Structure 1
Amino acid sequence: MGKPIIEYAEVIRSKNAGPYELTFDIIFKDRKIYERVKENKLINKNLISRLYGIEKDQISSIIFFEPARAVKITIVRPLSAGAPGERDVYGAQQHVPLLSIEI
């Protein structure tokens, strides 16, 4: 069993990436853990698909950004921002499933 990602990340957040996509950022505290996550492909489409209950084709991208020790995940929004029934126009509360990741 690993440790919760929150022990290794300084920032875990979500936000709009336009009206039809959400983006998630995980910024790691140190380079060593960032490299471990990246090299072992610990954050991948299978994981994000499972955490968010979406198909893999709804994941636009998973990008590792070396200078910031970060991974950026972009997914298609289930409902466009502001659509009837949509509950988080800014996308700021959608990162919670990422907190269950263990490293």
Structure 2
Amino acid sequence: MESAAHEGSPMKIRDAARVIRSKNAGPTQVSLDLMFDDPKLYERALKAPSLRPDVLAQRFGVPEAEVIPYPAAIAIKIVLPRRVIAGTPGDTDVYGAQQHRPLLDIEI
């Protein structure tokens, strides 16, 4: 992974990030988190056309302001509104744990 990251050859985000997860962020939101061990991989992800805030915002149907880089944490966060309040009828993922799947195959 390290050599590919620094050589610039294509790689999947799932191979670059240490953690890719989604989780409950209260009754009305879910957060998607991409966390990196390597600052160079984080920078590569930030520069990737496929992970630009406008591209991710469009992919998940949220305002661009909800795609938040956190340089101090070497992470990227995406905040999604829930379609229904957590735990109410129609909520299919009360823990918000299955929402990150569309991120896994993104190439950087």
TM-score with structure 2 setting the length = 0.77
**Identical columns (%):** 45
Q: In structure 2, the residue corresponding to 1:23 is in which secondary structure?
A: strand
Q: In structure 1, the residue corresponding to 2:23 is in which secondary structure?
A: strand
Is residue 57–residue 67 contact of structure 2 (8 Å, CA) maintained in 1? no
Residues 86, 60 of structure 1: alpha-carbon distance in 2 compared, 3 angstrom cutoff: farther
Deviation at 1:92, TM superposition (A): 1.2
C-alpha separation in 2, matches of 1:34 and 1:73: 15
Matches within 5 A, 1:43-82: 43-50=52-59, 52=60, 54=61, 56-57=62-63, 61-82=66-87
Deviation at 1:36, TM superposition (A): 2.3
Deviation at 1:80, TM superposition (A): 1.7
Say yes or no: does 1:83 pair with 2:88. Answer: yes
Moved more, 17-26 or 33-42: 33-42
Structure 1 segments of 4+ aligned residues over 2 angstroms from their partners: 36-43, 45-50
From 10, 14, 22, give the equivalent of 2:18: 10
Deviation at 1:100, TM superposition (A): 1.9
Q: Deviations over 1:56-95 (max 9, x none)?
A: 44x6611111122101110111222112121111101211
Is residue 56–residue 67 contact of structure 2 (8 Å, CA) maintained in 1? no
Q: In structure 2, the residue corresponding to 1:35 is in which secondary structure?
A: helix
Residues 100, 48 of structure 1: alpha-carbon distance in 2 compared, 3 angstrom cutoff: farther
| Gaps in structure 2 of 5+ consecutive residues | 1-8
Is residue 32–residue 100 contact of structure 2 (8 Å, CA) maintained in 1? yes
How many residue pairs get aligned? The number is 99
C-alpha separation in 1, matches of 2:65 and 2:87: 21
Point out the structure with max Rg over C-alpha.
Answer: 2
- For the aligned residue pairs, the C-alpha RMSD in angstroms reads 2.1
Tell me which protein shows more strand as a share of its residues: 1
Residues 4, 46 of structure 1: alpha-carbon distance in 2 compared, 3 angstrom cutoff: same
TM-score with structure 1 setting the length = 0.80
